[in-house]
Amino acid sequence: MKKSEARRQAILDAATGVFHAAGFDRASMSDICNRVGFSKATVYGYFKSKEELLLAIATEAAETEFAAAQVAMGSLAQPAADLAAALDGFGRRYLAFTCSPEALAMRRLILAEAGRLGLGNQCYDLGPARITAALAALL
C-alpha cells in the first residue's frame, strides 16, 4: 500500500472511530485529526469535509459488504446437488458477516445518517442491490 493510500485509510479509520463514539453531528474534524495524529491540512488534503468522509466510509462499508457476499456466494457458483443446502450455506456465511459487531456498528452509523447526502440510496445501490443482482444471476 502506498504511503498516500495508507494515510487515507488511517484517516478513514480514525473518522469511523470518532463517528461511532460521538455520532456524526457531534464529531468534529479536529476530533478526527487528534485521533489520527495528522494536521488539519493533511486531513483536509484528503477529505474536504466531514460529509465527504462519511460518504467515503459508507462507500467502503458497502464495498466490504458486497465482497463478503461474493465470498459467501462462492459455493453457489458450482452446480449444487442440493440447492436448498447451498442457499442455506450462503445465508449463514453472509449473516455471520452482517451480524458481526463491526458490521452492525457501521450499519447503525449509516442508518442514522441515511437521509444526509443521499447516503441511504448510495449504500443500498452499492450493497444490497448489487448483492441481490449477483445472487439472482447465479440462480
Q: DSSP string covering 25-41, please? A: TT--HHHHHHHHT--HH
The stretch 27-44 carries a mean pLDDT of 97
Domain boundary among 48, 65, 85: 48
Residue identified by cell 440447492 is: 83
Q: At 77, is the pLDDT very low, low, confident or very high (cuts 50, 70, 90)?
A: confident
Are residues 80 and 34 part of one domain?
Answer: no
Are residues 134 and 105 part of one domain?
Answer: yes
**DSSP per-residue letters across 76-122:** GGS--S-HHHHHHHHHHHHHHHHTSHHHHHHHHHHHHTTTGGGHHHH
User: Is residue 135 pLDDT above 90, yes or no?
Assistant: no
Q: Which of 61, 76, 72 is nearest to 127 (CA)?
A: 61
pTM, two decimal places: 0.85
Are residues 69 and 109 part of one domain?
Answer: yes
The stretch 96-109 carries a mean pLDDT of 92
Which domain range does residue 26 map to?
1-48
CATH code, 38: 1.10.10.60
Are residues 30 and 78 part of one domain?
Answer: no
